Every structure is written in structure tokens, then in C-alpha cells.
Amino acid sequence: MSKQHAGVILRIYPGSLAEELELVPGDKIVSINGQELRDIIDLSFAMADEEIDLLIEHADGEQEMISFDKEFDEELGVEFESAVFDGIRNCANHCYFCFVDMIAPNMRGSLSIKDDDYRLSFLYGNFVTMTNMGPADFKRIEQFHLSPLYVSVQCMNPELRAQMLRCKGAARIAEQLDNLERAGAEYHTQVVLCSGLNDGEELERTIREIVARRPHAQSLAIVPVGITKYRTDPFPLEQFDAQGAARVIDQVEKWQRKIQQEEGRTFIYLGDEFYLLAGRDVPPSDFYDGFPQLDNGIGLTRNFINDWEAAPDQPDVYDEPVYLDVVTGTSVAPMLQKLAASLDKENLHVRIVPVENDHFGHTVNVSGLLTAKDIMRKLDSLSGKRTGILIPESALRSGEDVFLDDVTLQQMQAHYPAARVEPVQGGKDFRAALSGWTSYHKDRSGETAYTWQSNAGYTKNIQY
Ligand code: SF4
């Protein structure tokens, strides 16, 4: 078996079966009960047996067979280097709007992976285009009940989809969705909306056809295309402006009202960016039907506000003035300003610091793609007292104290010796930091964070 096809153990959970079996990080799981494993989906099915023959390859290349009995629902308790042991499936497309192609040269490798792997869609909520999927994949989806999946639809017009994805096979979107439905899978869908391309009448058609696919289709998210200054694709793309965003909101609201009347839920959600761009309030919580596409960034702003409103004020009394700089992307700065202003705390001075994204270009306005260099450039340009600096945790690599440009949180802290630098994730943290700065400290160990993924979405990192 090739090196690729074994599950390499990264971490052993304390008190787990794996610890009892004396497995260590670096060990590879080669097979279970003679069955080779393609990914953690195979592993979890193989581990459903009560009698296990586990073939391990140790770091020195020695193989060992470990046989043991277990409860049928007992898990190994390990984390793997990758959830897919036979390698991530790459995408077969060259989309006009591919964000991976717009990443600055020299950025971290993990940001440049063009994955299009239905297994990662099932496991982590990554969006897939299904252009690289064949009958065996749908058979496996049916056999292993891999549902729901997350599908990047973009548009239902076959010719336009093939054109936008620069992939002939992309025209088969309706057929592939039919295959998914026949395999018994439900799916959430996404449209990356490009002004003048798949909006207007094309969006109307896409919505109509996806809506008709309920209940297999569980939701439809529409997000505006993001463009960085590194985009070299010759096809001209434009980002939405305030009027364009307002037009999309008005168009989609008609559908939302119709579906609300039909089945009491919204089903179609717009990326927060449309509301922020158009200068409109984000919809209320119940509009989001439990936030099915929160990991895709849909409803993050409302969620942030909810968390803020639900969180208690900390009882800290500030005897001395506290000066906090709140670093943020430009799009949500007004919302943070509003929330901070609603807090009535003596001696608390909050300054919202919207940072222009020089690294990716000023059209990129989200907090999660800010680099440490841009943040520090902005902070260095400001005068005045500073007790603390709040940075958006989404700008840090998941589970690590490292920014996108490889600057560490510690390096940033060393640059500002007179102020304490603390990451903040969500409205609860934000309120806790502002109202209880003296005791606020964010312990990031074991955090489940959002990371940017290839098809302009955000995905949550989970562990097996
Ligand atoms: S946007 Fe996604 S599917 Fe399209 S080329 Fe980029 S990685 Fe591939």
C-alpha cells in the first residue's frame, strides 16, 4: 500500500482506546479487519465491528497487527493528519471567480489547495461542484448515507455554468443533483454571485430550479463574489456596489416571502455582505431558520449580535481609564461601533479600528483575511493611549496563534509592550472583553474556529 493510503495519527486523546492500545502519533492505520481505508468514513464503519484486527505501521516502517474486542460504538479516540487517507480530491475547474487563484504569492500552502472532495463536504461542510464525481461516488454516498452535502451550484443554466467554471462537465449540474437525490442525500446549495453574469434573470432561474428541488435541497445561500488585487484571470469580474447589493436583496426578498408563506421558513439566505454593502440591517434571527449555513458565513453578523445581546456584562470596575483598540475588517466596523456604544461603563474608552486590507486589496473587507502587517500598519498610525488591542480570532490560523502572513500573536504582542493583545471570537467574547477587560483572557486551546476555504466560503474545523 502506498504511503498515501494509510491514516497517519496526529494526536491520541487521553483515556482513549488508542491510548490503551499504546498507539502513538506518527503510527499509520493500514487496515482494519483486512479492509484498506480510504478515509475516516471507511474507518468509522470498520470500527463498528466488535472484534477488530488493526494493522498498524509504526514510524520505523515496522508493521504490527493488534487484535482486540470493543463495544460496537467505542471509537479509537485519535485525530488524523488528514481525514482523507488517499489524498484530497482536487477540483477539475478553472472558475472565473476562484479565490484560490487570487491569493497572494508566498501565502501559506494550505490556503492554495483547490479541493473539490465530496467526503470533505460531508465531513466538514466544504462546498463541492460535483464536476469530478462519477457513479461510484454516488453509490458510496448511498451506501454510507453521506448526507447532507454542500453543493456549489453557481447557476442552473448548463452553458453558463460550464462557462463560469471553465469545465464542460459542469453543464451536467441538474443531472448530478438528480444523482444525489437518487442516492438519498440531502444537500445545501450555494451561489457565488457575479455581477452581470449569473445575477438578474439567471439568478431567477437558479432560484426557481433549486426551490423546486425541496426537500432534497435544504437551503440556498447566495454570496457576492470576492476579488483580490492578485486576480490575474482575463475574464472581467466586478464586485457588487451598494445599488447592486440592494437590487439583489429586493429580488431575493420576493422569493423569501413566497417560501415563508408556503412552508414557514426562509430557505434562501443572502451573504451578510449584501446587507452591509447596501447599508441595511441584517435580518432577525428567526429569518435564518437555525442558521444552516453559518459555517459558510451566512448569518455571522446576526449571530454575533445575538451572542452579544445574550452575554452578561462582566462586573469589573475600571478604577483607571481603559483604552481598547478593536481591530476589525471594514465591513463590520459600523456594527461593532454600534454595539460598543451601547455599553455604559465608566472609564472604558473603545476605539473601533477598521483596517484596510492592503495585502489582498481594499475590495476585501472581512476581518478573517486581515494580515498582521496590515493590522500593525494601521495601529502604528494611530496615536493616543492604549491599554489593550482586540484582534479578530478569525484572522488567526485555526487552532494556532499565527496570522495569514505567518506573523505570530506573540510577535504582535512584543511589538506593543504597553498593551495586552487578545483575540476575540463572536459577540460573547466581545462583550466579555469590553466589560471585563481586567480579567479577560482568551484560552484558544481546543478552539473550533472558522477557516477560509477555496470556494469563497468558511468552514468549521472538526476532529474525528
Ligand atoms: S472556485 Fe473552487 S471549484 Fe472553482 S476553480 Fe477554484 S477551487 Fe476549483
Q: For residue 127, what is the domain's CATH number?
A: 3.80.30
The owner of cell 491514516 is 7
> For residue 64, is pLDDT > 70?
yes
Residue 6 banded pLDDT, cuts 50, 70, 90:
confident
Burial bucket for residue 357 (CB in 10 Å: 0-12, 13-18, 19+): buried
Rounded distance from Cα 116 to ligand 1 centre (Å)? 7
Residue 4 banded pLDDT, cuts 50, 70, 90:
very low
Q: What is the pLDDT of residues 364-382, one digit of tens each?
A: 888 988 999 999 999 999 9
**Ligand 1 atom nearest to CA at 91:** 8
* Nearest protein Cα to ligand 1, atom 1: 98
pLDDT at 364: 87
pLDDT at 48: 87
Rounded distance from Cα 453 to ligand 1 centre (Å)? 10
Domains of the chain: total: 3
Residues 248, 358, single domain; the answer is no
Q: Which residues pair with 115 in a beta bridge?
A: 90
Rounded distance from Cα 187 to ligand 1 centre (Å)? 19
The reply to whether 375 falls in a domain is: yes
Q: Using a 6 Å cutoff on CB, does residue 454 contact ligand 1?
A: yes
Three-state secondary-structure class, residue 103: coil
Calpha distance 23→216 (Å, rounded)? 41
pLDDT at 442: 80
Residues 276, 131, single domain; the answer is yes
pLDDT at 449: 37
**The three grid cell numbers given for residue 80, joined into one nine-digit string:** 488524523
Torsion 216-218-222-226 (CA) sign: negative
Residues 323, 219, single domain; the answer is no
Q: What is the pLDDT of residues 380-399, one digit of tens each?
A: 999 999 999 999 998 998 77
> For residue 345, is pLDDT > 50?
yes
The reply to whether 293 falls in a domain is: yes
Q: Which of 100, 115, 150, 173 to mutate to test the pocket of ligand 1 (most atoms within 8 A of CB)?
A: 100
Residues 131, 214, single domain; the answer is yes
* CB 111, CB 404: distance < 8 Å: yes
Higher-scoring residue by pLDDT: 93, 100: 93
Rounded distance from Cα 454 to ligand 1 centre (Å)? 6
pLDDT at 41: 92
206: left (phi over 0), alpha (psi -120 to 50) or beta: alpha
Rounded distance from Cα 98 to ligand 1 centre (Å)? 5
The reply to whether 46 falls in a domain is: yes
**Ligand 1 atom nearest to CA at 131:** 3
Residues 32, 114, single domain; the answer is no
* CB 461, CB 399: distance < 8 Å: yes
**Average pLDDT, integer, range 216-231:** 93
Residue 119 banded pLDDT, cuts 50, 70, 90:
very high
Domain assignment of residue 224, given as a range: 100-298
**Ligand 1 atom nearest to CA at 100:** 6
Higher-scoring residue by pLDDT: 464, 434: 434
pLDDT at 104: 72
359: left (phi over 0), alpha (psi -120 to 50) or beta: alpha
Q: Using a 6 Å cutoff on CB, does residue 100 contact ligand 1?
A: yes
Residues 352, 415, single domain; the answer is yes
Q: Using a 6 Å cutoff on CB, does residue 231 contact ligand 1?
A: no
Q: Using a 6 Å cutoff on CB, does residue 95 contact ligand 1?
A: yes
Closest by CA position to 432, among listed 301, 295, 303, 310: 310
Q: Using a 6 Å cutoff on CB, does residue 325 contact ligand 1?
A: no
Calpha distance 400→393 (Å, rounded)? 10
Query: In residues, how long is the chain?
Result: 464
CATH number of the domain at 8, please: 2.30.42.10
Higher-scoring residue by pLDDT: 258, 106: 258
Q: Name, in order, each residue with C-beta under 8 angstroms of 253's C-beta and a sequence gap of 6 or more.
A: none
Residues 201, 337, single domain; the answer is no
The reply to whether 394 falls in a domain is: yes
Residue 75 banded pLDDT, cuts 50, 70, 90:
confident
Residues 191, 283, single domain; the answer is yes
Calpha distance 143→199 (Å, rounded)? 37
pLDDT at 320: 93
pLDDT at 452: 32
Residues 153, 282, single domain; the answer is yes
Q: Using a 6 Å cutoff on CB, does residue 166 contact ligand 1?
A: no
Residue 5 banded pLDDT, cuts 50, 70, 90:
confident
**Ligand 1 atom nearest to CA at 192:** 1
Calpha distance 33→36 (Å, rounded)? 9
pLDDT at 295: 84
> For residue 71, is pLDDT > 90?
no
Residue 228 banded pLDDT, cuts 50, 70, 90:
confident
> For residue 251, is pLDDT > 50?
yes
Residue 253: phi, psi to the nearest 5? -60, -35
Q: Using a 6 Å cutoff on CB, does residue 219 contact ligand 1?
A: no
The reply to whether 459 falls in a domain is: no
Q: Which of 110, 113, 116, 120 to mutate to test the pocket of ligand 1 (most atoms within 8 A of CB)?
A: 116
Q: Which of 89, 95, 117 to mutate to test the pocket of ligand 1 (most atoms within 8 A of CB)?
A: 95
Q: What is the mean pLDDT of the chain?
A: 90
The reply to whether 264 falls in a domain is: yes
Residues 332, 283, single domain; the answer is no
Residues 124, 268, single domain; the answer is yes
Residue 445 banded pLDDT, cuts 50, 70, 90:
low
pLDDT at 448: 41
* CB 220, CB 207: distance < 8 Å: yes
The reply to whether 128 falls in a domain is: yes
Rounded distance from Cα 303 to ligand 1 centre (Å)? 28
> For residue 341, is pLDDT > 60?
yes
CATH number of the domain at 408, please: 3.40.50
The owner of cell 506593543 is 416
The reply to whether 409 falls in a domain is: yes
pLDDT at 99: 85
Mark which of 268, 298, 328 sits at the end of a domain.
298
pLDDT at 110: 59
* CB 245, CB 225: distance < 8 Å: no
Mark which of 273, 298, 323 sits at the end of a domain.
298
Residues 192, 145, single domain; the answer is yes
**Average pLDDT, integer, range 195-212:** 97
Residue 212 banded pLDDT, cuts 50, 70, 90:
very high
Q: Using a 6 Å cutoff on CB, does residue 91 contact ligand 1?
A: yes
**Average pLDDT, integer, range 413-425:** 96
